[in-house]
Structure 1
Amino acid sequence: HPSLANDNLSGIVVATALAAHVRSRKRHLSYRFLFAPATIGAITWLAAHGDRAKLIKHGLILTCVGDPGPFNYKQSRR
């Protein structure tokens, strides 16, 4: 479906490009990119790796980045 290219595929493309960029640079911190299907993928990963979830400092979800609209950054409640 055409709208899914903007909603779903665009975020995967940007995240893949971002991961390649981060990998190509010298860095002082470690980064992990998790590619998971929708909310259920993140919930499943957290359930299986709850002990490691405490080590996560920041997270970013990329969605709907394939249209000409402005970028938005929405912070979590915490």
Structure 2
Amino acid sequence: MSVDIFGYFAAILTTAAFLPQLLKTLKTKKADDVSLTTLIMFIIGVLSWIIYGFKISSLPILIANLITLILNLLILISKIYFSKGFSKK
């Protein structure tokens, strides 16, 4: 069995963990409970993982973190959008 199996398994679980938050944010049109500082720090960390995954040519790290980046950018955009009241117009 290839060690990459563990990488893909971890990638699926850690990436999918953000779907409930994104769906809840989009459904309720609120992201007040999501910490902006934590979100920005996490996004910077994910970008670092993407660079690392690219440098070591690790497909599981790249795929997982690219998807995670997209999900978290959507959460960040939603947080900013909903906090500015754009959705109420």
TM-score under structure 2 normalisation? 0.31
Larger radius of gyration: 2
- Flag the structure with higher helix content: 2
TM-score under structure 1 normalisation? 0.34
